[in-house]
Structure formats: C-alpha cells, structure tokens
Amino acid sequence: MTNQALSLPMLASEKLQADQRIQQAKELLASALRDHSQSINEIRPPNPALVDRYQDSLKRLAAARGGAPYFPYITSGLGNGPFVELGDGSVKLDFIVGIGVHGMGHSHPAMLDATIDAGLEDTVMQGNLQHNSGSLEMCERLIGLANQSGAKLDHCLLSTSGAMANENSLKIAFHNRFPASRVICMDNCFAGRSLALAQLTDRPAYRAGLPKTLDVDFIPMFHPADPEGTTRGAIETLQKLLARHPGEYACLWLELVAGEGGYYPGTTHYFEEICKICHEHNVLVIFDEVQTFSRLSQPFAFQHFGLEKYADIVTLGKITQVCATLYGDSLKPKGPVLSQTFTGATASIRCGLAVLDELQAKECFGAKGWNMRRHQYFKAKLEALEKKHPGKITGPHGEGMMIAFTPGNGGAEEAKNMLSRLYDLGLMGFLAGSNPNRIRFLPPPGVTTEAHIDLAVEIIEKALVS
Ligand SMILES: Cc1ncc(COP(=O)(O)O)c(C=O)c1O
C-alpha cells in the first residue's frame, strides 16, 4: 500500500509515479503500441524484400552465438497476443512462447505498463543487497498463492533462472539433511543446465563430457498406458533404493507433468504413494514447477494434484519472469549457503507481478477456469484429427496449457520434420520426449483464444497431410 493511502508522508518515488506526465506518457505509449501491434493479427509469409537482410542477421547470430538457433527466428520486437512479427516481415502463431515464458504473448499492454514503472525505478537489477518494493511484493505474492490451499511454504528466494531456483532447492535440502547426499528423480525428467542439474536430468547427451557431481537414482515415471504397473514399479524401485542406501537420500525431486520428457502428467495416487514413502524415510520432497506454474487448474501443479502436505520445497520460473524457490521455515539454512548478486531485473519482477494479476483477472484458474477449458477444447480437436488421420497423430495430450501430440510413429526424425513443417506453415511449437518424440505447445494462457487454437489445429492438419 502506498504511503498516500496510509496517510503517511509521500516518498519522492511515489510523487514521481503519481506525476501526471508519467500517466500521459504511458497513455501515449500504450496507444502507439496498440495502433502498431493490431496489424499483426494473422500468419503471414516473409516479405521478399526483407529476406536477404534477415538471412544475413541469422548468419551473424549463428556466428556470434557459436551455432544457429533452433528456428530461423529473430523477432522484429513487435507482436500481438500469440502472433509475432519476425525480422523478415513474416508473422507466426507462437504457441511455444520462448518455452513457456511469455504468458501474456507478445507486446501486451500490461507488460509495457509494468516495464515503464520498472524503468522509473532507480536500478535495472535487484539482488541480495538491492531489494526494491517489487521484490517484497513478489515474494509475498508467491508465498500467499502457494499457501492458499494448505501448504506451508514460509520463505521465498528469487533468482534469475529455473536452474538457479533448482540449485537453491538442492542446497536447502542437502544442508538440512546433511550428510545425506543422494537425490531421487523420475525417469525422463529435466531439471536445468547446471553441472549438478545435468545429473538430475535423464538425458545422457546433456551431461556428455561433464564430470559427475551428484549421486542420483531414478524411479519409473507414471505412464497412462499402464497406470497400475508404472505406479507399482515406482514404489518398488523407490523402496529398493531406500533400502540399498539407508539414510543417504536428502530429497526426491519431481516434475508433476514431465515437461521436456514428453508432457506426461502423473496422478494424485502415483505422487501420493511415492511422496508418502519419502516422508516416512525422512526424504524431503521438491516439486519443480518451472514449466507447470500457472498452466494447470491452480497456480501450482501441486495444488492441481492435491499434494500440499508433501510440498517441502517448490521451484518456479518461466511465466513469472523471475524464478523462485519456496521452502518451509524448518528448512531455513543455518549457514550462508544461499545468496546471489542478481535476484532479477526490476522489469522482470514488475512484469511477473503484472502476469500474476492478469492470469487471475482472466480467470485462468479453477476446475472450470480457462486453462482447463482451453485444454479440453484443444484436446478434442487433436482427438478429431487422430480419428480423421489414423496413424498420423496420437495422444496423450498433456495437461492444462501444456499440450502435446505424437506425430506418426514417434521417431525423432518424424517429429523434427513435423516441427519444421509447422514452422514453415506459421505455427511454433517445440519437441518433447524421446521414444516417442512429441510436439509440444505452451500457448500463452493470458491471451490464447479458441480461434487461435482453431488456427493452430488447421495448420497441424495441413502439416500432417503435406
Ligand atoms: C521443469 C524445468 N525445470 C527447470 C528448468 C530450467 O529452467 P531455466 O532454463 O530457466 O534455467 C526448465 C527449463 O525448461 C524446466 O522445464
């Protein structure tokens, strides 16, 4: 609450924010953005006059970053909802949004407004010696959301990447359960790109040539084709591991919907069974919500699956623009093991708060909220394609605003070819999983409409038959 609202003397910063010129400038900028972004409202091919310059930019980008980006994609810096203009004048329907980051799509007015507010603050970055009011607001907001249905996550540590949020979660767990030093993960999981997280991630190629930093063991992931068998397999493997290494496990680290692993949601029963065993063995439970946060029926996937009592540590990122590690007071480290120069950019933190406001205002959450309704809509359309083109496309189809399908036989080449056909036709998704390889979508929850989904499905059908 501002000092003015509390009848306290106004700070100079509050006078600046209340200055009429700021409001007028904001209105002017918002109307210019609206006028120019509204023309970006459909998929378009490249403008031939811009192709050479664009190709040159792509070449320079590849040289500078040491390799071509996955897609020949450099934006012009302007978009409209899920539509984005590229530097060659083409327009794509962006259903992957930087792998789940741009929850309000491209060029959203609320993001501009929050960025202007951030630009008026004194520093570009915030960190452990630089907390502006936005940091406090973000921490309190995330703690409030996390605890709204009974979890007990008292503290929040902001960070600049999902990987750092997960690193912090492991530090908290190891520190608290010292000398236990092993971790249990689920098959097919992805935790991030640090040296430690490369061990948690079930992709040997991602740790090729890297030294072993942690002892990690894996349990089977829930699979919808064999719910009982995979649940039983996970329980048995977990029990064997706990018996083989008594007292050595500090934590179980889990994604509740395997993201990079192929969009396999688990079930409440599966998660309860394994979390319960872990708690009985004094093993902490970490839920990684870096990809799931804000995409299911509740802000947190652990709330969607009703796992509040098992949430010892929770990480999140992407859509919140700034990442975070939430943990209970009993796990507060007793030594200085957690600290960072940067916790986030001032603009990231302000925009993250605006995203949370928008998602709530747009009624994304709830069993009948827009995340679940759009999921049903998209899923029904993909199922219709499955019936119409047998063998060319199959489910499962993920959960909430995490949607995936398997093209053809699920081979790696087939999925890559399909992804590039979709891109050429104007729809952006990405790969997920292996054996089968899938195409995944992370549509921006704040702005995706049924008309956008219809357009995406139209393109998927074209790509299937082309
Ligand atoms: C489930 C999950 N955890 C962690 C990460 C790592 O996040 P970042 O890339 O921000 O470090 C990702 C990124 O895709 C993710 O999907």
Preceding omega of 265 cis (within 30 degrees of 0): no
For residue 27, how far is its CA from the centre of ligand 1 (angstroms)? 36
pLDDT tens column, 187-200:
999 999 999 999 99
pLDDT band at 466 (very low <50, low <70, confident <90, very high): confident
Closest Cα to atom 3, ligand 1: which residue?
A: 191
Nearest 10 degrees: CA dihedral of 230, 233, 234, 240? 180
Q: Which fold has domain 119-361?
A: Aspartate Aminotransferase; domain 2 (3.40.640)
**What would the mean pLDDT of 48-60 be, rounded to a whole number?**
98
Query: Parallel, antiparallel, or unpaired: how do β-strands 264-265 and 83-86 relate?
Result: unpaired
The tens digit of pLDDT for each residue in 128-187 reads 999 999 999 999 999 999 999 999 999 999 999 999 999 999 999 999 999 999 999 999
What does the pLDDT read at residue 236?
98
Mean pLDDT score of the chain:
97
> Who lines ligand 1 at CB under 6 A?
99, 161-163, 166, 190-192, 255, 259-260, 288, 290-291, 317
Residue nearest to atom 13 of ligand 1 (CA): 192
Residue in 186, 190, 195, 197 to alter for ligand 1 test, most ligand atoms within 8 A of Cβ: 190
Q: What pLDDT sits at residue 397?
A: 83
The residues that bridge with 216 in the sheet, in sequence order, are 183
What is the token pair recorded at 270?
A: 């599966």
Instruction: For residue 94, name the pLDDT band (cuts at 50, 70, 90).
Output: very high
Q: Is the pLDDT of residue 237 over 80?
A: yes
Per CATH, the homologous superfamily of domain 370-465 is Aspartate Aminotransferase, domain 1 (3.90.1150.10)
Residue 447, CB-side half-sphere exposure with 13 Å CA sphere: 23
Taking CA atoms, 220 is separated from 25, 183, 235, 395, in Å, by: 55, 14, 9, 20
pLDDT value at position 46?
98
- Which of 318, 399, 401 gets mutated to test ligand 1 (max ligand atoms within 8 A of its CB)? 318
Q: Which of these, 453, 449, 458, 454, lies nearest to 81 by C-alpha position? A: 449
Distance 316 CA to ligand 1 centre (A): 9
Distance from Cα 218 to the centre of ligand 1, integer Å: 19
| Predicted local distance difference test score (pLDDT) of residue 312 | 98
| pTM (two decimals) | 0.97
Q: What pLDDT is recorded for position 5?
A: 75
Per-residue model confidence as pLDDT tens digits over 305-356? 999 999 999 999 999 999 999 999 999 999 999 999 999 999 999 999 999 9
Dist. CA 280 → ligand 1 center (Å): 29
Rounded distance from Cα 426 to ligand 1 centre (Å): 26
Nearest-angstrom CA–CA distance, 165 and 169: 6
CB 29 within 8 A of CB 112: yes
Q: What is the pLDDT of residue 2?
A: 67
Question: Which atom of ligand 1 is found nearest the CA of 166?
Answer: 4
Q: Whose CA is nearest to atom 12 of ligand 1?
A: 192
Q: Which residue's CA is the nearest one to ligand 1's atom 16? A: 291
272 phi-psi bin (left φ>0, alpha ψ -120 to 50, beta other): alpha
Of 334, 10, 316, 324, the closest CA to residue 136 belongs to: 324
Tell me what pLDDT residue 273 has: 98
Task: Please identify which residue in the block is written with the tokens 């009592």.
Answer: 309
- Degrees (nearest 5) of the Cα angle 411, 415, 418? 140
pLDDT in tens, 3-46: 667 889 999 999 999 999 999 999 999 999 999 999 999 999 99
How far does residue 44's CA lie from ligand 1's centre (Å)?
31
Residue-level pLDDT at 189: 95
List the chain domain ranges: 119-361, 370-465
What is the number of the ligand 1 atom nearest to the C-alpha of 161? 10
Q: Which atom of ligand 1 is nearest to the CA of 317?
A: 10
Res. 1 pLDDT band, cuts 50 70 90 = low
pLDDT digits (tens, 9 = 90+) for 255-287: 999 999 999 999 999 999 999 999 999 999 999
Q: Which of 164, 189, 290 to mutate to test the pocket of ligand 1 (most atoms within 8 A of CB)?
A: 290
pLDDT tens digit sequence for 397-452: 899 999 999 999 999 999 999 999 999 999 999 999 998 999 999 999 999 999 99
> What is the Å distance from ligand 1's center to 33 Cα?
31
